[in-house]
Structure 1
Amino acid sequence: MGNRMGRRNQSHIARLDQTISKLKESYEGTPLIEVGHRLKDFLEETKAAIEAGSAQASQAKKAIDYVDSLIQILPSTFGDRFDLDAFLIQSVAKEWSTGTVRLPNTIIPNYGRQWGHNSVNMPSESLIEANAIDIIVFQGDNNLDDIDLLSYPWLCHELAHALLTRHGKKFGNDFTAELSKEVNRLHLRSLADRGATKDRAKKLVNNILNLWLPDPKEKNWTFELASDLIALWTCGPSFLSAFHDAVNRDGVDPYKISKGHPPYVVRARALVTASREVGWTSEYLQPLEMTMSKWEHLKKSNANELAAYAASDIVRSCLSCSIAACRKLELPLYDSAGIKRTRETLAKGESPKIGTDLLTAAWALFNDQKDQYDTWERRTIQTLINDFKE
C-alpha cells in the first residue's frame, strides 16, 4: 500500500514539475514574467506540501487544472501590438484614476474574435481584490496589421467592466433598489391574477431579475448597459461611432434578446438619451439615430417580450445610476474641448498622445479627411511604437 501511495505521489509530482517547466518556457523573458513567477511559486508550494505530507496528492491535479485554466485565457504571444495595447490600457486607466478610483497595473491585453473582458484571481491565501488580474480582449490577431483604431473606443467599454468589477458595489446597490421598485409594482398588478395569468406574471418577474439583477461576475444587462454609458462618459463621440459601426452591419438583429447583452436597440436608445444629458448635440448622434430609424421598419417577433424586459423605467433607472456612478467615481467627462484640442494637434501635423486623445484623433481624422486616414493610422501606430521603444 505504501509503495502504491508513493508511486501515486511521484506521478502527481512529475505532473507538477512538467507544468512548472511549461510556465518557465511560456513566460520567462516576457511581459508576463511576474505572472509566471506567481503561478510557478503556487505550484512549487503545492509540491512541497505533498512531499511533506501536509497535503493530499489530489491537490496536485486541482492546482494544475487551476493553472491550466489561467493559461488558457492569458496571452501566449507578444510583440509590438501587445506592447502598444498594454501601453494604451495603462494610459487610459491612468486618465480614469485621477479621482476616487484607482485601476490596477495588472490589466493585460489579449486577442480574439471580438472585444471582451475577463477577470481572474491569482492564487493566494485569500483571494482578495489585489490579486485579481483583468484581461482586455482586443478584436483581431496579435499583429499590427489587425489594429483598427476606429474600433478602439471599445477599450473604454471593456475597461468599464474592469472598473465595475472592483468599484461597482454602490452602483449595483443603487440600481437594485430601483429595480426592486419596478418588480414590486409588477407584483402588485398581479395580486388578483389566477392560474396561467399569475404564472405568466411570475415568470416575467423572474426573467426581469435574471436579466437585470446586478452581478459583476456574471454577464447581465445592467453592467453591459452601464459599461456603454461609462465609455460614452469617458470617450464621447468616438465611442458612439464605434458602437454604430458594430451595429450597422448586415445580419445584425437589433431586437435579439440574450442573457448577456441587452438588445442593440435598447443600448442605442440609452446612448442617445445619455448623450443629450451630457451635452452631445444631434451632430454627433445623427448616424446612430438614422440607423435606429431603419430598425423601426424591421419585423419584431418579440415586441411584447422586449417591451416587458426593457421597460422604460428600468432602462431609465440604469442610465441614471450609471451617470451617478461616473460622478461618484470622479471619472473624467470627455467634452467638446477634448475634440477641439485633438483637432488642433492634427492640424499641426503632430501625433496625438496615447490614451483617449488617440481614440478621438482616429475618429476626427476619419470624419474630416477620410481619404488620408489609412496612411495616418499606419504612421501614427509606428510613431507610437518607436516612442515607447526609445
Structure 2
Amino acid sequence: MNRTLKRVLGLTGSVMLGLAGAVTFASAAQAHHPDVTGTPTCLPDGSWQVEWAVVEGDWHNKPADLEAWIDTVESDSDAEITGAFTLGTTFGDKVKLPDPELDEAPITATQVLDAGVESVSLKVATKWSNERTDPGEPVTVEKPDTGCQPDPEPETPEPALTHHSDCFGITVTVSNGNPEALSTFTISTGSGEDIVVTPEVDEPYTESFFVEDVEAGLTVTVVVDDGEPTVIEWEGLPTCPTIESTVTCEGLEVTVTVPENGTETTFTFAAGEGDPIVVTVAPGATETVFIPGIGTELEISYEADAGKFYETGTLYWAKPVECDEESPAPSETPSAQPQLPTTGSSLTIMISSAAALIVAAAAIFLIMRRRRTAQDW
C-alpha cells in the first residue's frame, strides 16, 4: 500500500470516528426532551387562548425510572400563564413532568392572548434525574383560522310591570317587549304557590289578588329574572266609595260617599221595572237617594263606575213588620161627631210613627263583588 493511500484511509477513519461520536452525543441530547403541545380556542370577547400541555418525551431505550422536572418556562409573549406552571416556574418549584408511558395525564396551563396577537410560542427547559438537561425548543401556536370575532352583544330583555289597587285588591300585569330576550316573572303573595310566567311579546299576563283580611292588608311581590323584588302594597281602601243604607217603611234611603282622594264615581240604582236612579258623586262629596219600596220586599241592583274600575252589587229592602200595624182610633169627645178610625197618613201621624217604626239599618260597607275590572288603572 502506497503512502498516499494510507493517508486517505487514515483521514477517512478519523472523519468517521468523529461523526460517530457526534451522532452518539447528539442522540443522547436529543433523547432527553419534553413534549409540548398547544391548543388554541377563541373567546367570546374576540381574544383567544392556548392550553399548553407538557409531558416527558419518549425515545428508544428510555429508562423506565427516568424522571424530569421543569427548569424554566419562556414565551415570546408576556401574557400571563396560569395553571400547573407559569412563566415564573423554575426547577426549585419541583414541577414534575408526567410520563405518558405510565398513563399519567399531561400538566396543563392556559395563556390568554389579545385579539391582535396572531401567534405565540412557548419553550420549556427541563432537568432529568440522570443530571441531563434540555434547553427546550420553542413551540409556536397560531391564532385559530376563524379569526376569533367577538360574539354579538346579547339581546337586552324589555320586561314591563304595571299594577293597580282597587277596592278589592291588587291587579298585576307583566309583559315582554323583546322576542329575542324574554324575561321570567315570579309573582307571589306569601301564601300559596308562586306564579312563574314567561309571557310572549304581545301576550301580557294579568292576575288579580283579592284582599281576604282588610286589617292584614295585601302584599304582592314580583321578581323579574334574578333581579331585585318589587313589593306592591294594597292601597285601595282609602279611595274606595262607601254606601250607607237605611231601611224605612216607605223604602230604602241610600247615602253614597267618595273620599277626597278618590275618583268621581257614577252610581246607578235599579229596582223593579221603573227607571234607574243615577247620581254622580265628586271626590269629597256625599249624595243621598231614596228608592221607594214595592210590596214587602225589594231587590235593588247597583253599579259603581269610577272609570278605572266598574263594580256591581245588590241591596235589599224588606218592609218592617211594624209598618203594617194600624194606627189607634182617637178618643171620643161629647162635642164631636163619631168618626171612623183614621187610616190615612197625616203628617203628624207619619212623623210620630216614624220615630218608633223606622228601622235604622245603616251599614257602611265596601263594594265587595266585582263584575269586571278595567285593565287601565
TM (norm. structure 2) is 0.20
More strand by percentage: 2
Q: Which has the larger radius of gyration?
A: 2
- Which one has more relative contact order, counting CA pairs under 8 Å at least 6 apart? 1
| TM-score with structure 1 setting the length | 0.20
